[in-house]
A and B are shown apart, each in its own frame.
Chain A
């Protein structure tokens, strides 16, 4: 008897079609998400454009040796800006290392953010609590659990707040992603799991990470799963707003799979041309989020050339600010290496610090 090879799940169910409000050519289908007036609609473009420019600037700074490394996010602006835009100030976002777009929306100073990549200070120089934006987290998927714990804590305090965890498609292979989804469902934690499925985990394609569509994994935890066109900022805003409402009103966490594409390498340390098919990049380039949304704004008469001109000027100014801020940033004073390890510096650490600072003289004093 011939045994049939098990077939991997393919995208074939209606639910697998990503939710979309803007067609690839920028035509609105359906209603706008609630609460998006003209100013806010323009703001969405403005934020994406600033992030795009800042991303290019960071890449350039890395090439010039000003940053140690950079993880580009071009192509993912709609997913990041749209999701962060849907949060409230009292919410908390937990990023991985590719979320400058979300950081900007949360009001984090870009130079403070980039200090992580310059090697100035781990975690960046910004205050996570002030911006409701956690420290950059490198161990893949680990931050998903932090979001769940924070959401549990906020719920116990009766706060109208949720936690949103950012991660990529590769992170869904990690145990912490599964533990986080499971914990959140069991504890009814007001959390949102926001996966930016950008097609690649460094050089490994999605097909080598999972045989099941990411959004369908949610069912296994008893969670709603949503697949959204991650290059359609309006759709991203809407599904994240809805997820937030479910989270804070009913303690129902949502797994959102934003289907997007990483137009650049994983980081400035790898060469994407080795593994990314050129046709694939070109196909996605045509679907990139800014031009699609710009077409929408223009066709609806929401924004005109003067607006886009002013955005370009602002973006150029921000790029200049980044360049100046990074170039001017000295290394932190060496004694900070020993600070904050513990609340009070233990004696053995104080001795090591004094050795570095004074050649050990203080230690003997």
Chain B
């Protein structure tokens, strides 16, 4: 089986989607000749031409705003925001228009738009290059929010997102771009909106998405050495949230820890915990804890390792949960 990086898998997903549907357009800042600052769009312009794959002026609201018009004209825009925090100038277009167009038009004008955003930290980047903006998007009704954690799933989820009739904010955990996985790139696996149990374990359920899934797996490996079996659930999609898979997992173990990189207060973990309390209160043996980034701006690169949830912090939370 060939090994593929997440970056290569995403590149192939874009290429296959451009190939399959000639209404798909890929655009953003530096996505053309350079192939994107993370090379996710490498070679696409050469292969599909400057009409299908093009650089835009440096203006994020413009990138999101033309997506609306292009979708209305029958195209399927796949827009790239260069970094997480650079997606904020586009929030007005994303929230006020992309997310609401289908609703406002009574279903007549769908927005099959994908906004790809390299997100989260852990790569020693400069300020404004490491944010985890998922809550802004997850709180915006009308958007789907997808966060892959592995190369194979990244391929599948991106192909599905581009084919999806609804707007999708596709968050790419940039610290995982160079992670490798063996297997064949194929679509048609678990649909958007379904979580995945990536490791079984009876003592406690770890719930994560994006880059934190592999961190949780590391923690589970270590815990197993001490005889503690941790289950790991990869949400894959924050909106719509797969409550059923979550509830089954948590009812089985009776204990859960949610792990994410965004700040704790009103982070998506708060939503997960609230849902679990509503659905599984009688099955819970302990409070559901969160291990998250702190309620600070994402810190400078030289101290970011103290901010991003570590294996130690995860295991410490597991210890507290198990001690109930």
Interface residues, chain A, CB within 8 Å of chain B?
92, 94, 121-123, 125, 127-129, 134-135, 137-139, 142, 144-154, 156-157, 163, 175-176, 179-180, 182-183, 186, 336, 339-343, 346-348
Closest chain A CB from B166 CB (angstroms): 5
Identify 8 new A-B residue pairs, CB closer than 8 A, beyond the known A94-B69, A148-B65, A150-B69: A127-B108, A142-B93, A145-B64, A175-B59, A175-B61, A183-B57, A343-B110, A346-B193
Closest to A159 in B: B73
Contact check, B141 vs A341: say whether CB atoms are below 8 A apart.
Answer: yes
Q: Which of B34-42, B97-105, B117-125, B152-160 contacts A (4 or more CB under 8 A)?
A: B97-105
Neighbouring B residues of A343 by C-beta, 8 Å: 102, 107, 110, 165-166
Closest chain B CB from A120 CB (angstroms): 11
Contact check, A122 vs B110: say whether CB atoms are below 8 A apart.
Answer: no
B136-147 vs A: 1/0 string, CB under 8 Å?
000001101000
Closest to A348 in B: B240
Contact check, A342 vs B166: say whether CB atoms are below 8 A apart.
Answer: yes
Contact check, A139 vs B165: say whether CB atoms are below 8 A apart.
Answer: no
Contact check, B69 vs A146: say whether CB atoms are below 8 A apart.
Answer: yes
Partner of A139, one of B71, B97, B107, B240: B97
Partner of A340, one of B97, B106, B243: B106
CA gap between A341 and B141 in the complex, in Å: 7
Interface residues, chain B, CB within 8 Å of chain A?
51, 56-57, 59, 61-62, 64-75, 77, 89, 92-93, 96-97, 100-110, 141-142, 144, 165-166, 193, 239-241, 243
Q: Which 4 A-B pairs have the closest CB atoms?
A: A149-B69, A145-B65, A153-B73, A149-B66
Contact A121 to B142, CB < 8 A, known contacts A145-B66, A153-B69? no
For chain A, what secondary structure do more than half of its interface residues adopt (helix, strand, loop), or is it mixed?
Answer: helix
21 A-B residue pairs with Cβ-Cβ distance under 8 Å, sorted by A, are A94-B69, A139-B97, A146-B66, A147-B69, A148-B69, A149-B66, A149-B77, A150-B70, A150-B72, A150-B73, A152-B69, A153-B74, A163-B69, A175-B89, A179-B57, A179-B61, A183-B56, A183-B57, A342-B142, A343-B110, A348-B241
Contact check, B57 vs A142: say whether CB atoms are below 8 A apart.
Answer: no
Neighbouring A residues of B101 by C-beta, 8 Å: 135
CA gap between A354 and B71 in the complex, in Å: 31
Closest chain A CB from B173 CB (angstroms): 24
Contact check, B65 vs A142: say whether CB atoms are below 8 A apart.
Answer: yes
Closest chain B CB from A192 CB (angstroms): 13
Contact A182 to B62, CB < 8 A, known contacts A147-B69, A148-B69, A150-B73? yes
Closest to B68 in A: A146
Most chain B beta-carbon neighbours within 10 Å: one of A139, A154, A183 = A183
Contact check, B142 vs A146: say whether CB atoms are below 8 A apart.
Answer: no
Contact check, B109 vs A129: say whether CB atoms are below 8 A apart.
Answer: yes
Contact A145 to B68, CB < 8 A, known contacts A183-B56, A186-B57? yes
CA gap between A92 and B72 in the complex, in Å: 10
